[in-house]
């Protein structure tokens, strides 16, 4: 089920929308929340349309257009996005107005743009793409579900499939999730995420699109050789079993992996399991990424982006390194989980 | 790798019945579930009829043995009822922990029904601690995870939200996962509970009817919202061996009209595209379809667009068409699942269900919907349409085996 990543558009809290850059300058925050660095949207979307669009729709369309241009593709064979909470700013705008105005004098725009598939639909409208179009909203593996469907479509003969993930961290969203313990109680600098022992993570957001295809091009970043997910393993040992099972089904052992991209999010409750997994890879360079993008349902897409960029540039930026092992990236394993419920593994190779 | 996918179990709950049998009895007796709003406490009570499931959350929880109601959305509860019925019907209720069995559920609002009651508290940093569990049950994926947990499922799970075409896409994705050899059996469908958020949203779009919905009628005034859940169990050929088979999933298509965020084109290009692609995929001619379970929302735009597309595909030989939303209201993310159950019942029980409340023929169309129930009729192929916001269109064909 191998596919190639032939184009990327990544709008995140780092200046990642510029594909010529790779984490040379790093943005950090001191308020437990990393918000997107926005490109100039009028380069991608007409000003008349921009006015009615919430940030997530702008980001979704622009990241798709950047990825398509990067891959030199006009019309993707499919558009598939993943999102945990959908277009939350529009959703809560309609919700709060409805509550505050007692169900009176409401206008439809925010409601129309509140559905999770707005981004997929708006990408399709902006490039007149009538092909397969879907949106998955399955918590911590929403992006993985879109990637997996895209890989299946490539196997079915579909060309240049756009897959992506997006989520947004509005003020109220941040407050709300904070009340159920998602974030650290004391504020930290985002770059200290992996050295902080408090429970909870830091908030984040991004919109990241990939063009995948069965064929390699001059612009290919990497191949995604395989991916899998599993749900609520019984024990830490079972997580390691799953990782080994995954690798051995592709005739690989842990020593074949040069770099592990690990979804550590600084939450002492959930990072323990990453450390258990990383111990199995003593010869590999260990890397993390959530200090650069924060924790959100589709943050794995940032991990996939990191793996692809490292493989294409054959370099590992020092800001992502978690250990002192220096490897040249050839095979990268991306490991992620959310709340020890939904786990995912991705295997990427240099191409 | 299985090349064929079969339907082996059905489950549903909606305003016309708490299970498949009750729903069938309502369908053949033209008993609709549309009535004045009682459970939902909305300002639009007076003039917006609605199709509510006749059980409280407590009753639903008791019914499926859910112990803790706090933090469990009505959307999840409805989903548990229907998914469990489908699993029991397919005889797989005791093997659900297998990683070869998946669950794909669609929902448009997830836990919004609870969120809208407590949101002010959710976002108040100094607020009371009550009901915070519902924060974690808001997102769409939680409802699927909750269904999986209650049924003891450990395999692949996914949640689809492509608005009103969501659960048709669940059937489509499940079928492809089986054909790729990733799963042997999948419970596919959707669930959505009524909430003020959707009532008000559709109300601002001015597509809610102030009387019982009249799909495919010249002077139709829009839809009635409904709630419920509908799931079917689909299995690979190998896995379905020696089982009761309701139908084969022979055709499907998903496309995007890319016309407008919430409206479809008057020519019905998107609907035409997916109906013809589904027919081609199934290797069928338009004349092979015996019954169309239409999307049929009774909005001015949908019925014109879908009706025109049907006319373009079927010409002068339009098969029997009905919108069962005239019974259940529009159940949004659940509609494709509920209508998949009804489409399979049509084949299994040799019945074509009526399009209730029909008034006058649409002048733009050469056909009228079927207004009376037809029984003892051989039905070989049923086409089920589902169209959603974002221009997301899907069509599924179920065929008698």
pLDDT digits (tens, 9 = 90+) for A235-273: 999 999 999 999 999 999 999 999 999 999 999 999 999
The tally of CA atoms less than 13 A away on the side-chain side of residue A71 is: 31
Which chain A residues are within 8 Å of B259, Cβ to Cβ?
Answer: 125
At A61, the pLDDT band (50, 70, 90 cuts) reads very high
Residues B54 and B154 in one domain: yes
Of the listed ranges A29-33, A58-62, B265-269, the one predicted with least confidence? B265-269
The tally of CA atoms less than 13 A away on the side-chain side of residue A161 is: 27
Residues 6+ apart with CB under 8 A from A283: A254, A255, A325, A327
Q: Which of B72, B140, B164, B195 is catalytic?
A: B164
Question: Considering the domain boundaries, does residue B40 fall inside one?
Answer: yes
Residues B48 and B181 in one domain: yes
A17 close to B (CB below 8 A): no
Which chain A residues are within 8 Å of B96, Cβ to Cβ?
Answer: none
A88-100 helix and B196-204 helix, angle to the nearest 10 degrees: 90
Q: Domain containing B346 — which CATH number?
A: 3.40.47.10
Residues B162 and B77 in one domain: yes
DSSP symbols for B45-63: GTT--BB--SS-HHHHHHH
Can you tell me which residue has the tokens 């929403």? A142
Which chain B residues are within 8 Å of A180, Cβ to Cβ?
Answer: 132, 135-136
pLDDT attached to residue B253: 97
DSSP code of A15?
S
| CATH number at A3-213 | 3.40.47.10
Q: Do B261 and A297 touch (CB under 8 A)?
A: no
Angle formed at CA B198 by CA A115 and CA A135, multiple of 5 degrees: 20
Q: Do A111 and B201 touch (CB under 8 A)?
A: yes
Mutate which of B139, B146, B388 to disrupt the A interface (most A C-beta within 10 Å)? B139
Q: Is the pLDDT of residue B1 over 60?
A: no
Q: How far apart are the first and last CA of chain A?
A: 15
Q: Is the pLDDT of residue B350 over 70?
A: yes
Burial zone of B1 (CB within 10 Å; 0-12 exposed, 13-18 middle, 19+ buried): exposed
Domain boundary (B240, B262, B279) is at: B240
Whether pTM exceeds 0.95: yes
The helix (run of H) or strand (run of E) holding residue A271 is helix A268-278
The pair of three-digit structure tokens given for residue B348, joined into one six-digit string: 């299994």
Each residue's pLDDT tens digit, A195-206? 999 999 999 999
Question: Considering the domain boundaries, does residue B105 fall inside one?
Answer: yes
Give how far the C-alpha of residue A221 lies from the chain's centroid of Cα atoms, to the nearest Å. Answer: 16
pLDDT attached to residue A53: 93
Phi and psi for A44 in degrees, rounded to 5? -120, -30
Query: How many angstroms away from the CA of A185 is the closest CA of chain B?
Result: 12
Give dist(CA B280, CA B303) in Å, integer. 24
Alpha carbon of A335 to those of A250, B93, B357: distances in Å? 16, 32, 55
Domain boundary (B178, B213, B240) is at: B240
pLDDT attached to residue B21: 98
Residues B294 and B274 in one domain: yes
Residues B279 and B233 in one domain: no
Helix (H, G, I), strand (E, B) or coil at A340: coil
The helix (run of H) or strand (run of E) holding residue A7 is strand A3-11
Residues B80 and B206 in one domain: yes
User: CATH: 3.40.50.11400, 3.40.47.10, 3.40.50.360, 3.40.30.10. Which one for A224-349?
Assistant: 3.40.47.10
Residues B28 and B156 in one domain: yes
A337 close to B (CB below 8 A): no
Give dist(CA A245, CA B363) in Å, integer. 62
At B128, the pLDDT band (50, 70, 90 cuts) reads confident
Q: Is the pLDDT of residue B150 over 60?
A: yes
The helix (run of H) or strand (run of E) holding residue B385 is strand B381-388
Query: Could you tell me what percent of chain A has a pLDDT over 70?
Result: 100
Query: How many angstroms away from the CA of B36 is the closest CA of chain A?
Result: 18
Each residue's pLDDT tens digit, B283-317? 999 999 999 999 999 999 999 999 999 999 999 99
Question: Considering the domain boundaries, does residue B245 fall inside one?
Answer: no
At B125, the pLDDT band (50, 70, 90 cuts) reads confident
Which chain A residues are within 8 Å of B127, Cβ to Cβ?
Answer: 179
Catalytic-residue membership of B330: yes
Which chain B residues are within 8 Å of A84, Cβ to Cβ?
Answer: 139, 141
Q: Is the pLDDT of residue A282 over 80?
A: yes
Alpha carbon of A261 to those of A108, A130, A166: distances in Å? 42, 35, 20
Query: How many angstroms away from the CA of A141 is the closest CA of chain B?
Result: 9
Which chain B residues are within 8 Å of A297, Cβ to Cβ?
Answer: 139, 141
- In this structure, are residues A224 and A261 in contact, taking their beta carbons and an 8 Å threshold? no
Phi and psi for B128 in degrees, rounded to 5? -70, 155
Q: Domain residues for B191?
A: 5-240
Of the listed ranges B42-51, B119-128, B313-322, the one predicted with least confidence? B119-128
Query: Could you tell me what percent of chain B has a pLDDT over 90?
Result: 95
Torsion, CA B387, CA B320, CA B234, CA A144, rounded to 10: -10
At B262, the pLDDT band (50, 70, 90 cuts) reads confident
Residues B181 and B48 in one domain: yes
Which residues are B395's β-sheet partners?
A: B253, B385
Give dist(CA A12, CA A17) in Å, integer. 7
Q: Is the pLDDT of residue A123 over 60?
A: yes
Where in chain A are the domains? 3-213, 224-349
Mutate which of A116, A157, A235, A338 to disrupt the B interface (most B C-beta within 10 Å)? A116
How high does pLDDT run on average in chain A? 97
Phi and psi for B217 in degrees, rounded to 5? -100, 150
Each residue's pLDDT tens digit, A144-166? 999 999 999 999 999 999 999 99
Q: Do A115 and B122 touch (CB under 8 A)?
A: no
Closest residue in A to B257 (Cα–Cα): A130
Q: Is the pLDDT of residue B339 over 70?
A: yes
Query: How many angstroms away from the CA of A83 is the closest CA of chain B?
Result: 9
Domain boundary (B214, B240, B266) is at: B240
Phi and psi for A42 in degrees, rounded to 5? -70, -10
Q: Is the pLDDT of residue A14 over 60?
A: yes
Q: Is the pLDDT of residue A173 over 80?
A: yes
At B230, the pLDDT band (50, 70, 90 cuts) reads very high
pLDDT, mean of residues A55-68: 98
Q: Do B119 and A99 touch (CB under 8 A)?
A: yes
The pair of three-digit structure tokens given for residue A350, joined into one six-digit string: 């240099």
Give dist(CA B187, CA B84) in Å, integer. 9
State how beta strands A161-167 and A206-213 pair: antiparallel
CB-nearest partner of A137 from B115, B139, B273: B139
- In this structure, are residues B222 and B206 in contact, taking their beta carbons and an 8 Å threshold? yes
At B126, the pLDDT band (50, 70, 90 cuts) reads confident
Helix (H, G, I), strand (E, B) or coil at A327: coil
Residues B179 and B273 in one domain: no
How many domains does chain B contain in total?
Answer: 2
pLDDT, mean of residues B171-175: 98
């Amino acid at each position: 089920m191998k596919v190639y990543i032939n184009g990327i558009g990544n709008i995140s809290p780092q200046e990642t929308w510029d594909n010529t850059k790779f984490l040379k300058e790093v943005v950090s925050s001191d308020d437990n929340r990393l918000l997107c660095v926005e490109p100039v949207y009028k380069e991608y979307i007409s000003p008349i349309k921009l006015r009615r669009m919430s940030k997530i729709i702008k980001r979704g369309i622009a990241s798709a257009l950047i990825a398509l241009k990067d891959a030199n593709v006009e019309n993707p064979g499919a558009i598939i996005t993943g999102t945990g909470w959908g277009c939350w700013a529009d959703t809560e705008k309609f919700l709060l107005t409805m509550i505050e105005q007692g169900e009176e004098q409401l206008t439809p725009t925010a409601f129309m743009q509140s559905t999770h598939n707005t981004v997929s639909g708006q990408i399709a409208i902006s490039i007149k793409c009538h092909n397969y179009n879907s949106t998955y909203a399955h918590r911590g593996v929403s992006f993985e579900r879109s990637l997996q469907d895209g890989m299946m479509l490539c196997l079915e003969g579909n060309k240049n499939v756009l897959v992506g993930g997006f989520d947004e961290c509005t003020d109220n969203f941040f407050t709300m999730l904070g009340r159920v313990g998602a974030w650290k109680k004391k504020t930290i600098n985002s770059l200290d995420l992996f050295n902080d022992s408090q429970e909870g993570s830091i908030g984040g957001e991004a919109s990241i699109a990939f063009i995948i295809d069965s064929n390699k091009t001059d612009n290919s970043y990497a191949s995604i050789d395989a991916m899998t997910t599993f749900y609520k393993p019984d024990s830490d040992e079972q997580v390691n079993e799953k990782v080994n099972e995954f690798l051995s089904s592709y005739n690989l052992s842990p020593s074949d992996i040069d770099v592990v991209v690990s979804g550590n999010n600084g939450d002492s409750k959930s990072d323990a399991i990453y450390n258990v997994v990383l111990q199995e890879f003593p010869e590999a360079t260990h890397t993390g990424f959530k200090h650069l993008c924060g924790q959100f349902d589709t943050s794995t897409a940032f991990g996939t982006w990191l793996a692809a960029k490292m493989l294409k540039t054959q370099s590992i930026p020092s800001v992502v390194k978690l250990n002192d092992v220096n490897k040249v990236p050839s095979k990268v394993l991306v490991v992620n989980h959310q709340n020890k419920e939904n786990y995912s593994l991705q295997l990427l190779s240099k191409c | 790798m299985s090349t064929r996918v079969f339907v082996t179990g059905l489950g549903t709950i909606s305003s016309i019945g708490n299970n498949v049998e009750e729903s069938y009895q309502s369908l053949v007796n033209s008993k609709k579930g549309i009535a004045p709003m009682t459970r939902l406490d909305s300002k639009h009570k007076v003039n917006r009829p609605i199709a509510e499931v006749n059980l409280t959350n407590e009753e639903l929880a008791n019914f499926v043995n859910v112990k803790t109601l706090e933090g469990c959305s009505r959307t999840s509860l409805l989903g548990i009822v229907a998914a469990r019925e489908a699993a029991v019907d397919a005889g797989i209720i005791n093997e659900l922990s297998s990683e070869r069995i998946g669950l794909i559920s669609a929902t448009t609002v997830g836990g919004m029904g609870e969120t809208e009651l407590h949101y002010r508290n959710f976002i108040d940093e100094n607020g009371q601690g009550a009901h915070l569990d519902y924060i974690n049950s808001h997102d769409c994926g939680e409802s699927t995870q909750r269904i999986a947990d209650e049924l003891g499922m450990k395999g692949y799970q996914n949640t689809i939200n492509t608005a009103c075409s969501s659960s048709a896409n669940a059937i489509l994705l499940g079928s492809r996962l089986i054909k790729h050899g990733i799963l042997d059996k999948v419970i596919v469908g959707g669930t959505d509970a009524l909430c003020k958020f959707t009532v008000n949203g559709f109300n601002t779009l001015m597509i809610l009817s102030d009387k019982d919905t009249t799909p495919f009628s010249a002077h139709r005034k829009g839809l009635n919202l409904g709630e419920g859940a509908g799931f079917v169990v689909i299995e690979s050929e190998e896995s379905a061996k020696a089982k009761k088979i309701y139908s084969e999933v022979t055709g499907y298509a998903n496309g995007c009209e890319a016309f407008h965020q919430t409206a479809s084109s008057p020519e019905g290009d998107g609907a035409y595209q997916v109906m013809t692609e589904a027919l081609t995929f199934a290797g069928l001619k338009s004349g092979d379809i015996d019954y169309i379970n239409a999307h049929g929302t009774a909005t001015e735009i949908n019925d014109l667009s879908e009706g025109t597309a049907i006319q373009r595909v079927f010409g002068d030989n339009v098969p029997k068409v009905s919108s069962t939303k005239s019974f259940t209201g529009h159940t949004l993310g659940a509609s494709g699942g509920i209508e998949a159950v009804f489409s399979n019942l049509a084949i299994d029980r040799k019945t074509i269900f009526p399009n209730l409340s029909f008034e006058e023929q649409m002048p733009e169309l050469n056909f009228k919907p079927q207004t009376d129930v037809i029984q003892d009729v051989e039905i070989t192929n049923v086409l089920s349409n589902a169209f959603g916001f974002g221009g997301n269109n899907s069509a599924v064909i179920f065929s008698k085996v």
